[in-house]
């Protein structure tokens, strides 16, 4: 089976690249993936697969093997692009000015289309069902994954296992990365408005200084990370925007603050968010001002089910060779695949796309991000192999 998949992936590699280039040239922003949805639907129908529209711009479909209800494994690709002006001078450069596939979601979508073709060809040779999940809007709250789940993407049929992959510009092409357990962080946005009473900088006694209040809040909140957090769970609190808008001699009326809180545990996350709100409000009040706290909750933390991840890593070793399968460190970025991981045993792994010799080294979300396209053959072939390995269990 493995050799058949490898052969098909190799035979079809040119098609994977063509699909990826079409998607790359025609990127669409989160929740606006209408043409992408149509493109994917057309390719699936050509193969012989009938997709169903979901979440406005998403698609689900199934490939039934023998004894289709024996086991169901879902495979996910995200399809949205970012508001970035592409700086690459390549023949497949974005034709949609100001929008760019700078996070590799074109690669994920093209890979899953490749998986669709490979596994449809081999459908008489495995037991169970492969569920294809093409989701919109990974990059934007509330996250396309949450909408997909709300609209039933994990029902009828309900998968017992789910896999997702993401390009990795820091991992050389030809290598794959896995991590068991907590892997990526929850990310919540914090917005504070600290109010005092402005006035002349020379007469602070007549006002209530929101700049000083804000300073105390920012310093004090770090103790939530250092004193309240269980050191076993990584967590980050960062404030990247503070606007006071006074002057050398003007105390402003209010200060506006924005930050991010990230965590690797849902109980701790809820506890920390409550502490942040209480402490910010309490400090402001004790100093005569007020602090309005608004928290925009983002994606949950991403957990890779350990046993499934161990099996997928083993299957990857069979497909790629031991030397090409690496262990990942935890990473406090967020990813909406995390929603699925709280509903079904899941494994989210990294596909190496870096090629220093070709100068392909830029990070995701940058105007010069690109991939070594030989990653597509691996992206499609390996995911096919991981799915049938799990179905064979
Ligand atoms: Zn991204
Ligand atoms: Zn991404």
Q: How many CB atoms lie within 10 A of CB 36?
A: 26
Which pLDDT belongs to residue 308? 98
Ligand sitting nearest the alpha carbon of 77: 2
28, 33, 78, 138: the catalytic one is 138
pLDDT in tens, 195-228: 999 999 999 999 999 999 999 999 999 999 999 9
Q: Is 266 a catalytic residue?
A: no
How many whole angstroms separate alpha carbon 236 and alpha carbon 162?
28
**Closest to 52 in 3D by CA, of 43, 63, 62, 67:** 62
Residue 227 tokens read as 């004193």
Q: How far is CA 57 from the centre of its chain?
A: 17
Which of helix, strand or coil describes residue 123?
helix
> Which bound ligand lies closest to the C-alpha atom of 108?
2
- Cα 373-63-107 angle, rounded to 5 deg: 15
Please confirm, yes or no, whether 138 is among the known catalytic residues. yes
- Strand ranges (E), 95-185: 129-135, 161-172, 176-178, 181-184
Q: Report the mean per-residue pLDDT for the chain.
A: 97
Mean pLDDT on 343-370? 98
- Cis-peptide, bond into residue 157, ω within 30° of zero: yes
Q: pLDDT, tens digit, for every residue of 240-261?
A: 999 999 999 999 999 999 999 9
Give the count of alpha carbons within 13 A of 100, CB side only: 19
Q: Of the ligands numbered here, which is closest to the C-alpha atom of 100?
A: 1
Pick the closest to residue 79 from 60, 62, 100, 58 (CA basis): 58
pTM for the full model?
0.93
d(CA 307, ligand 2 centre) in Å: 25
Q: CA 361 to CA 172: how far, in whole Å?
A: 9
- Give tens-digit pLDDT for 9-61: 999 999 999 999 999 999 999 999 999 999 999 999 999 999 999 999 999 99
Task: Kindly identify the ligand whose nearest atom is closest to the C-alpha of 139.
Answer: 1
CA of 287 relative to ligand 2 center, distance in Å: 43
CA 48 to centroid of ligand 2, rounded, Å: 28
pLDDT of residue 252: 98
Report CA(8)–ligand 2 centroid distance (Å). 27
Nearest in space to 130 (alpha carbons), one of 68, 44, 211: 68
For residue 219, count other CB atoms closer than 10 A to its CB: 10
C-alpha 280 to ligand 2 mean position (Å): 33
Tokens of 193: 């408005």
The pairing of strands 235-243 and 254-263 is antiparallel
The helix or strand, by DSSP H or E, that contains position 119, with its residue range, turns out to be helix 105-121
The Cα 38–Cα 46 span in angstroms is: 12
Contacts of 293 (CB under 8 A, 6+ apart): 190, 191, 192, 276, 277, 280, 281
Catalytic residue among 28, 33, 78, 80: 80
DSSP 8-state class, residue 49 = -
Report which bound ligand comes closest to the CA of 166. Answer: 2
User: Measured between alpha carbons, how far is 346 from 1 in angstroms, rounded to an integer?
Assistant: 23
Angle at 43 between CA 37 and CA 45, to 5 degrees: 100
Taking the chain, what is the end-to-end CA distance rounded to the nearest angstrom? Answer: 14
Kindly give the distance from the C-alpha atom of residue 139 to the centroid of ligand 1, in angstroms, as a whole number: 6
Q: In this predicted structure, what is the pLDDT of residue 132?
A: 98
Q: Is the torsion defined by CA of 222, 227, 228, 231 positive or negative?
A: positive
| Ligand found nearest the CA of 78 | 2
CA 106 / ligand 2 centre spacing (Å):
10
| Residue partners of 150: CB distance under 8 A and separation at least 6 | none
User: Rounded mean pLDDT of 286-296?
Assistant: 98
The mean pLDDT value for 98-125 works out to: 98
Instruction: Please give the pLDDT value at position 143.
Output: 96
93 Cα: distance to centroid of ligand 2 (angstroms): 18
| Ligand 1 mean position, distance from CA 342 (Å) | 20
CB 347 within 8 A of CB 74: no
pLDDT for res 178: 98
Give the mean pLDDT of 254-272.
97
In the reported structure, the alpha carbon of residue 138 is separated from the centroid of ligand 1 by a whole-number distance in angstroms of 7
**DSSP for residue 127:** B
Q: Is the Cβ–Cβ distance between 32 and 58 less than 8 Å?
A: no
């Amino acid at each position: 089976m493995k050799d058949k998949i490898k052969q098909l992936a190799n035979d079809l590699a040119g098609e994977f690249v063509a699909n990826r280039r079409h998607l790359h040239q025609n990127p669409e922003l989160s929740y606006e993936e209408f043409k992408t949805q149509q493109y994917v639907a057309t390719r699936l129908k050509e193969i012989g697969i009938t997709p169903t529209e979901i979440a406005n711009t998403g698609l689900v479909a199934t490939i039934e093997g023998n004894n289709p209800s024996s086991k169901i494994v879902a495979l996910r690709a995200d399809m949205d692009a970012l508001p970035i002006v592409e700086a690459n001078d390549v023949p497949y450069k974005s034709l949609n000015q100001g929008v760019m596939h700078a996070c590799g979601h074109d690669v994920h979508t093209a890979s899953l289309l490749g998986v669709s073709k490979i596994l449809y060809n081999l459908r008489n040779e495995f037991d169970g069902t492969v569920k294809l999940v093409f989701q919109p809007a990974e990059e934007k709250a509330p996250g396309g994954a949450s909408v997909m789940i709300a609209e039933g993407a994990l029902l009828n049929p309900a998968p017992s296992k789910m896999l997702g992959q993401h390009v990795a510009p820091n991992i050389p092409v030809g290598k794959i990365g896995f991590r068991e357990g907590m892997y990526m962080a929850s990310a919540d946005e914090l917005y504070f408005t600290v109010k005092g009473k402005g006035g002349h900088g020379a007469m602070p006694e007549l006002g209530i200084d929101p700049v000083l209040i804000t300073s105390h809040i920012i310093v004090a909140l770090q103790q939530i990370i250092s004193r309240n957090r269980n050191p076993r769970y990584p967590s980050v609190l960062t404030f990247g925007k503070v606007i006071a808008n006074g002057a050398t001699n003007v105390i402003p009326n209010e200060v506006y603050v924005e930050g991010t809180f990230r965590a690797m545990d849902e109980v701790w996350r809820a506890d920390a968010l409550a502490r942040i709100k209480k402490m910010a409000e309490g400090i402001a009040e004790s100093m005569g001002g007020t602090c309005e706290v608004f928290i925009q909750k983002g994606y949950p933390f991403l957990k890779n089910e350990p046993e499934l991840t161990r099996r997928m890593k083993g299957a990857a070793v069979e497909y790629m060779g031991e030397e090409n399968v690496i262990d990942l460190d935890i990473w406090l970025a967020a990813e909406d695949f995390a929603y699925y991981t709280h509903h079904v045993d899941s494994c989210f792994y990294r596909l190496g796309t870096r090629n220093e010799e070709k100068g392909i080294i830029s990070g995701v979300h940058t105007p010069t991000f690109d991939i070594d396209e030989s990653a597509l053959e691996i992206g499609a072939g390996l995911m096919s192999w991981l799915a049938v390995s799990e179905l064979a269990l």
